[in-house]
Structure 1
Amino acid sequence: MNDTLTPVGGRGAWRGSTFDYRQDGLWQLSGEELGEIDAALATLKDHGDLDLTEITPATFPLQRVGDLLTRLRDELRFGRGFVLIRGLSRERYGDDDLARIYCGLGAHLGEVIPQSGKGEILGHVLNVADLVDEQVRGYRSAMAMNMHCDGHDVVSLLCLREAKEGGASRIASAAAVHDRMLEIDPDLVRVLYRGMPVMRGRMDAEYGDGRIVTSGDVALFTKTDGEFSSCVHVAQTRDAARAGHFEITAQQEAALELFCELSSSPELYLDMQIAPGDIQFLNNRLIVHGRTPYVDHDDVGRRRHLMRLWVNIPAWPRRPADQQDIYSMEDLPLWARQRQPFMELPERYLAEVTARQRAAVGG
């Protein structure tokens, strides 16, 4: 890290209070593009009942939309760092077909990868906190979620159903937070460049390479050849300190707190309403994301339900060395061994959750 810190600037250092994402960030699918997606789904089904892992550019062929996704890769890396794609019809497609389309788009964007030690390549963001005995992670509840990034290159969400009230996707540019911190206290920015250890999930470690905490410090901010990259896991860093893996200093805590304060400030964040059929893409190296709390339906079949993909982009360079320790490539094939065929299909998943709800109420 250079002692002379400079702002990131550019389109990627946007401030949410200064623009409307519906004018700069919303991509509407054209009739021709929707027709091509429909034809790709028909081609996929001609191959028989393929598992989601068998959806590839060959089994789900796209040309016009493939060109769109090439532009999307550039916008995620060199532009705003996020895109919301709109146009898929909830009336035309059932949940399982939307999952197939979603994985097909992901396969053209890059490599769809497992998201946890369970091996799932399609995640379900659904409130089940009242249906299970154990404490659930934030995305499986209706609580607010603090600003953070997910693993590897790109995280994406496709909305199946909205909440009764609330549940906006809150995003912010980590580059803009960096630049605002630089104006306030450059010494705290340097702390985040040096980084801190990060605690990994127990199951992710158990089924992965075994490490419960990173072997070294993970830089929240770094620049390589002039390209900025962020890696923000504030809660897991504090977990590592509480578990005794390192002794957090007052300055480190102040740096984390300032990042949280700024990324959650109306000046910098942007609240995005993801409607049914919308697909959000975020560059995990540039964007931090969270969620506002929400009120949901009692019936689990009507609750807010989003599907999630993690995608690695082979055309992008690997993360800088001081950010790779938390995202072990060795984990991915080990996690994949836990996966069962067809386990993430949303209609099957929702049927299982619905049965659990009925059992809980004695129905």
Structure 2
Amino acid sequence: MCVCECVWERGGNQRLLTRPLTSSQENFRLGKLTQILEDVREDVINGKGFVLFKGFPADSWPVLKTAVAYMGIGQHLGYFVSQNSRGHVLGHVKDVGEDATQIHKTRIYRTTARQFFHADDADLVGLLCLHRAQEGGESDVVSVHHVWNVLRREHPDVAELLTRPIWYFDRKGETSVGQEEWIRQPVVYLENGGRGRLLCKWDPYYVRSLTRFSDQGLIPPLSDEQKHAMQVLEDTCQRLALHMILEVGDIQFLSNNHVLHARTAYKDFPPPAPRRHLLRLWLATPETEGGWALPFHDSKEKKRGGIQVNNNPPRAPLDAE
């Protein structure tokens, strides 16, 4: 059985950010920490796929200083890419009261709901914990290669189904003019050249939310085999995952190419206590600078991936919008 090696469009034409932010490696020098971050970058991209830093002074610094320092660290790992249609390059994982059952339009990171194992549309994702929840909100990570090996051994039918370009993913309205409301692609791929490693692009919320189109006959509904594969994939990830709790001041960086991550549902402290709040970065590590040779049209672009809509400029708000 072979994993698809052909080039698939990553959601149509991805435009680059129209203006750079002022922070860069050149004007955010970190002394001895620079070499440490170079080693971390290599380990996240080509090694175990994640790292957890502890002790960032998020509980004693104001949010502006925290955000600047965090983004400065991120610049040593990759290039900021937009996380939503608003151009946010500094994201906020925080409950803003949106309805988690309306998965065709709600981004789950803006709710308290459980996030199933998934990969974001960027090479790396960073999460800095500003405030913890009262209960839950715990983090899980799992190696795609480990999951794949288990699926090949225990559920070869599921593994084979994940290689087929039959999976439709919702874009939840975050589209530029002229783009379709969904993309079709496999779940797992091989690198397009390079080392031939396995990578995975997956988010079950974006697959389940397409009934508004399948009901109209615009795309096929999920088959029973696909529903079974989704459950087996989630169960396998849960069984093999590493579980951790992000404390205030913890920073987690992980690869979206060969690691899937998840979050348990959570309950916030009652007001006036602050809600659970993580600062999020999506970072690109292009093929020309040591990143994976992705089977997408933008693999060699500096700011590949992300959710770029109508050339909206990058923004870094200091709270959820």
Asked if structure 2 preserves the Cα contact closer than 8 Å seen for 1:231 and 1:323, the reply is: no
Q: Measured at CA, do residues 323 and 62 of structure 1 come closer, stay the same or move farther in structure 2, by a change above 3 Å? A: closer
Asked if structure 1 preserves the Cα contact closer than 8 Å seen for 2:122 and 2:305, the reply is: no
Question: How far does the alpha carbon of each residue in 1:97-151 deviate from its partner, in whole angstroms, 9 at most, with x for none?
Answer: 110011101111110111111100001111121799x874221122211111101
Q: Which structure has the highest helix share of the two? A: 1
1:12-23 to structure 2, matched below 5 A, reads none
Asked if structure 1 preserves the Cα contact closer than 8 Å seen for 2:44 and 2:51, the reply is: yes
Question: How far does the alpha carbon of each residue in 1:25-57 deviate from its partner, in whole angstroms, 9 at most, with x for none?
Answer: xxxxxxxxxxxxxxxxxxxxxxxxxx9921111
User: Distance between the aligned counterparts of 1:322 and 1:182, measured in 2?
Assistant: 28
User: Distance between the aligned counterparts of 2:45 and 2:256, measured in 1?
Assistant: 10
- Pick the aligned partner of 1:87 from 55, 59, 63: 55
1:257 is matched with which residue? 231
Question: How far does the alpha carbon of each residue in 1:68-115 deviate from its partner, in whole angstroms, 9 at most, with x for none?
Answer: 121112111222111001121235421111100111011111101111
Unaligned runs of 5+ in 1: 4-50, 354-363
Asked if structure 2 preserves the Cα contact closer than 8 Å seen for 1:72 and 1:83, the reply is: yes
Q: Is 1:210 aligned to residue 179 of structure 2?
A: yes
Q: Is 1:182 aligned to residue 152 of structure 2?
A: yes
Asked if structure 1 preserves the Cα contact closer than 8 Å seen for 2:122 and 2:304, the reply is: no
User: Number of matched residues?
Assistant: 291
Larger radius of gyration: 1
* RMSD of Structure 2 on Structure 1 (CA): 3.0
Higher relative contact order, chain-length normalized (CA < 8 Å, sep 6+): 2
Unaligned runs of 5+ in 2: 4-18
User: Distance between the aligned counterparts of 2:146 and 2:305, measured in 1?
Assistant: 32
User: Distance between the aligned counterparts of 1:222 and 1:92, measured in 2?
Assistant: 44
2:80 is matched with which residue? 112
2:2 is matched with which residue? 2
Q: Measured at CA, do residues 119 and 163 of structure 1 come closer, stay the same or move farther in structure 2, by a change above 3 Å? A: same
1:333 deviates by 5.6
TM-score (norm 1): 0.72
1:66-105 to structure 2, matched below 5 A, reads 66-105=34-73
1:152 is matched with which residue? 122
Indicate the percent of aligned positions where both proteins have the same amino acid: 26
User: Distance between the aligned counterparts of 1:131 and 1:187, measured in 2?
Assistant: 35
1:229-268 to structure 2, matched below 5 A, reads 229-240=199-210, 243-244=213-214, 245-265=219-239, 268=240
Q: Measured at CA, do residues 280 and 117 of structure 1 come closer, stay the same or move farther in structure 2, by a change above 3 Å? A: same
The one-letter amino acid of 1:59's match is N
Q: Measured at CA, do residues 110 and 208 of structure 1 come closer, stay the same or move farther in structure 2, by a change above 3 Å? A: farther
Asked if structure 1 preserves the Cα contact closer than 8 Å seen for 2:174 and 2:307, the reply is: no
1:18-29 to structure 2, matched below 5 A, reads none
1:246 deviates by 2.3
Q: Is 1:344 aligned to residue 312 of structure 2?
A: no
2:264 is matched with which residue? 292
TM-score (norm 2): 0.80
